[in-house]
């Protein structure tokens, strides 16, 4: 009886993961397929950036567009709605640019760990930091708020 229950749990979990994956699948597209309002918004905000790729994806039933770019040493991914409104910005950060409270949170929770990469994520007025920490031979993905509160922390399965 218990084994059958576990099998059903595994099947449900697998099905849920497949559904979520299908809902956020991004499709690489050409510039011509991106709405002009998205291109104009990007070019106004980041005139010196070099665009690496364009993607179209569905989020909550809404078609969104992601522009992946680089400007100097900053890698930036910006997600726009079809009207050119910014939904999310992910920007790479140099390790020395990570706010002190965020760094101290990592040090407290992974004293032997080393931050190997960092991104600042902005969604509206909400800012979080996504870090990869190398600790005890494992890579740990951490999401931390500006005050140092850990939102999530999990061992990264693959590079």
d(CA 93, CA 38): 24
Which residues, 6+ apart, have CB-to-CB distance to 156 below 8 Å?
Answer: 132, 138, 139, 140, 141
Per-residue pLDDT tens over the stretch 97-110: 999 999 999 999 99
CB–CB of 89/78 below 8 Å? yes
pLDDT band for position 64 (50/70/90)? very high
Per-residue pLDDT tens over the stretch 74-97: 999 999 999 999 999 999 999 999
The pLDDT value given to residue 82? 97
36 conformational bin, left if phi > 0, alpha if psi -120 to 50, beta if neither:
alpha
CB–CB of 86/96 below 8 Å? no
Residue 20: pLDDT over 90: no
Q: Which of the listed CATH numbers 3.10.450.360, 3.20.20.150, 3.30.365.10, 2.40.50.140 matches domain 94-159? A: 3.10.450.360
| Helix or strand holding residue 83 (H, E) | none
Sketch the domain layout of the chain as residue ranges: 94-159
Judge if pTM exceeds 0.85.
Answer: no
The pLDDT value given to residue 13? 43
């Amino acid at each position: 009886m218990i084994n059958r229950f576990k099998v059903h749990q595994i099947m449900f979990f697998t099905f849920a993961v497949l559904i979520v994956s299908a809902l956020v699948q991004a499709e690489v597209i050409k510039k011509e397929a991106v709405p002009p309002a998205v291109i104009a918004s990007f070019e106004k905000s980041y005139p010196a950036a070099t665009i690496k790729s364009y993607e179209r994806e569905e989020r909550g039933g809404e078609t969104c567009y992601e522009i992946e770019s680089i400007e100097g040493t900053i890698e930036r991914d910006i997600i726009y709605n079809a009207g050119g409104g910014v939904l999310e910005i992910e920007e790479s950060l140099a390790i020395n640019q990570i706010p002190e409270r965020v760094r101290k949170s990592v040090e407290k929770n992974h004293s032997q760990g080393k931050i190997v990469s960092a991104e600042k994520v902005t969604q509206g007025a909400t800012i979080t930091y996504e870090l990869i920490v190398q600790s005890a031979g494992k890579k740990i993905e951490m999401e931390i708020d500006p005050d140092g509160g850990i939102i999530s922390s999990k061992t990264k399965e693959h590079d």
